[in-house]
Structures are given as C-alpha cells and as structure tokens.
Amino acid sequence: MKINSTAGKADGFSLIEVTIAMAIAAIALMALMGLIPQGMNTMKEAGDKAIMGRIHQQIMSELQMADFEALDTFQGMEIFYDGQGEQLSDSKNQGSVEAAKQKGAFNHIYSARVSVPQAVGGRMPESVGGTAFDGYSFDGGASKNFLIRPVVIEVSAVGGLAETFDWDDENNRRMIEIYQTNVVKMGRSFTVPAP
C-alpha cells in the first residue's frame, strides 16, 4: 500500500507569495495613478482646442456672411463665450446685456479677438508679428488685389483673467490659439478697384 505524502497539505499560496503579489500590484497601481493627472490635463487641453475651433468657425461664418465693405466693423472686436463656446455678448452691446453675460462675469470662460487689417495701411496683430499690411499682390508687386482681406482670430481660455487679460502681453501668448485666414469678395466683377 502506497501512502500519498501530499494528502494532508492544502493547496494555496504561501504568505510570502501573497505579499510579493500585493507589492507588485501596489507598484502597478501607483504607476497608473501617476498617469491620471496627465490624462486629465490632456483631456482639458483637447476640450479647450475643440471649443476654440468652434468659436473660430462661428466668427468666420459671421465674417463670410457680412458685407465685404463692412468688415472694418469687426476690427479689434472682442467677443466673450461661456464654457461650451456659446457667445455671451460682443463689444457692440456690452453695456446692454445682463451682468452674467458681460466681460469678466462668472460665465465668461473664453475670449476671442478679431483682427481684419485694412487692405492698405493696416497692421497685423502683435501675436502674428504686428507688421504693416499693404495688401495682396499676385504679380510680383505690380498691382494690389483689394478683393482679399486677411483675418486673424485669436481665441483664449481666459477664465478668471477676463478683466486683466492683455492680448499683446508676451506672457499670455502661450494661452492664445491663433487662426489666420482670408475673406474674399465674391459674386461681383473681379476687376480690381482703385485704392
């Protein structure tokens, strides 16, 4: 008769094995917990960029629908938005809207500044160099095309800085998302008018 020597032993893990497994799990959890703040920052930045892009599209739609000769009314305009990218008010009616929708209010999360330099003698904003703009030329400078106007839209998540935010301050440049494009006069004769 053969006696099984393991018959009295119970199957399972020893205390040392359990301790080692718990130490490995704790190290893995600590590494994963360290990634959470970075992931949260990445998600916030992605959300900000998406909302800023939507704000840019809203402003561009408005500019494209405006009369070409009226583009000067948009020059230097600052527009305010809530956390979802919905317009609160703009510089035209700032004094006539309720306090919750004004610059610096609790709902004011994003600001946008529109620059539409004049075709002759206009200046680009400081965020894109601040240089003079003297129109577009497609023939080596022989003539200027006044049917095209540059547009620079700067969008920033200003949050609590809404009252003191300076668009031209070097320290604020990293907070500003810059979109550059052109608006073209369409639907009429393409002869270039005299300046």
pLDDT for position 57: 93
pLDDT digits (tens, 9 = 90+) for 37-72: 888 888 988 888 999 999 999 999 988 888 888 888
Q: Residue 69 falls within a domain, yes or no? A: yes
| Least confident interval from 49-53, 71-75, 138-142 | 138-142
Q: Residue 105 falls within a domain, yes or no? A: yes
Q: Residue 73 falls within a domain, yes or no? A: yes
Q: Residue 88 falls within a domain, yes or no? A: yes
24 φψ region: left (φ > 0), alpha (ψ -120 to 50), beta (else): alpha
Count how many domains the chain has: 1
189 has a pLDDT exceeding 60: no
Q: Residue 191 falls within a domain, yes or no? A: no
Domain hosting residue 128, numbered range: 15-184
pTM over 0.85: no
| Least confident interval from 15-19, 89-93, 118-122, 147-151 | 89-93
- Phi, psi for 80 (deg, rounded to 5): -115, 145
Q: Residue 110 falls within a domain, yes or no? A: yes
Burial of 116 (0-12, 13-18, 19+ CB in 10 A): buried
Q: Residue 104 falls within a domain, yes or no? A: yes
DSSP conformational letter for 103? T
pLDDT for position 141: 67
Q: Residue 189 falls within a domain, yes or no? A: no
23 has a pLDDT exceeding 80: yes
| Least confident interval from 62-76, 86-100, 130-144 | 86-100
